[in-house]
Each structure stands twice: as structure tokens, then as C-alpha cells.
Amino acid sequence: MKNSGNNSQKGATLIEVLVAMVILSVGLLGLAGLQATSIQSNYGAFYRSQATILAADITDRMRANRKAAQAGGYNLSALSNTHAATTSRTDKDLNEWLSQVAKLPAGKARIERDNATALVTITINWDDSRGSIKKADGSSITADGTANFVYRTEI
């Protein structure tokens, strides 16, 4: 009996399946990279939202104790996450607030009041190396991997 099939087609289906598997594998690797970037962005967004909440918290505390805030009692001239303990309401507020700031990775804060404009600038700094998106060469967007949240308001 004669074989009526075309011999040049033998194995072609296997090659097509292998090419499809390679294309699918590349697509899945791209999807995994996208997922990793999404997780990094999620960490960064979480830390930024925590910094926003902390800035609003100290602002509310300053408005509740307006006289001390306007006198500069809440000023922290250097980035810090500790404050000397005393019994005043201002120091209690700062100690409680700075203990929350310290929960951010390497979290530190500074509060400055400009007497000329009555504006208060609250700066919260944290290590965002885990949450920051890397550039194409693998380096961090900021030189030291830190992020800052700056909040300005009038008391």
C-alpha cells in the first residue's frame, strides 16, 4: 500500500507547539515582572499614605494646642524620630507622634514654623528602597533611596 501523505509535513506540528510555548513563556515572564513592579508600587503608596496621615495628625494636635504651636513649641529643627520627654502637652504630642513616625522604615520628621508667614512645614522622611520603582539601569530614582513627604499648612 502506498503512503499518500506528504513526508515534508512530518514534525511540523511539534515545531509549531514549541514556538507557541516559547511565546507563551516570554509573555508569562513579562506578566511576572509586571506583578513585581505592582507590588513595589504598592509598598511606596502605603508608606506615602502613612506619611500623609501622620502629617494630618500632628497638624490636628498643633491646632488643638494653637498657642504653643504659634510660639514654636512644636518645632523640630532636624530630622528626628525622638524628642526629650517632659510633662508638657506639646512634648507629649511630639513624643507620641514621633513614635508613630519611627514605625516607617528609617522614619524621621522635621517641623518648622515660619514666623513671617505663619506657615508650618512638616517633612517626613523614610527609606523607600523597598517601595521605589527602579530606573532601567537598576538604580533608585533618588540617590539614597529615601522618600520625603512635605506638608505645608497655616496654624
Neighbouring residues of 13: CB distance < 8 A, sequence distance ≥ 6: none
Q: Does any domain span residue 112?
A: yes
Q: Which has the closest alpha carbon to 128: 33, 43, 39, 51?
A: 43
Q: Does any domain span residue 45?
A: yes
Handedness of CA 55, 60, 61, 63 (dihedral sign): positive
Q: Which helix (H) or strand (E) holds 42?
A: helix 12-64
132-147 confidence digits (pLDDT tens):
666 666 555 556 778 8
The rounded distance, in Å, linking the Cα atoms of 141 and 82 is 28
- For residue 14, the model assigns a pLDDT of 87
pLDDT confidence tier of residue 130, bands split at 50, 70 and 90: confident
Longest dimension (CA), the chain: 106
48-100 confidence digits (pLDDT tens):
999 999 999 999 999 999 999 988 889 988 777 777 767 789 989 999 999 99
9-51 confidence digits (pLDDT tens):
676 788 899 999 999 999 999 999 999 888 888 888 899 999 9
Q: How many CA atoms lie within 13 A of 106 on its CB side?
A: 11
Q: pTM, whole model, 2 decimals? A: 0.73
- Which three-class secondary structure state does DSSP give residue 125? strand
Number of domains observed in the structure of the chain = 1
Q: Bridge-partner residues for 136, per DSSP?
A: none
Q: 79 is in which domain, residue-wise?
A: 7-154
Q: Does any domain span residue 1?
A: no
- For residue 101, the model assigns a pLDDT of 95
Q: Does any domain span residue 2?
A: no
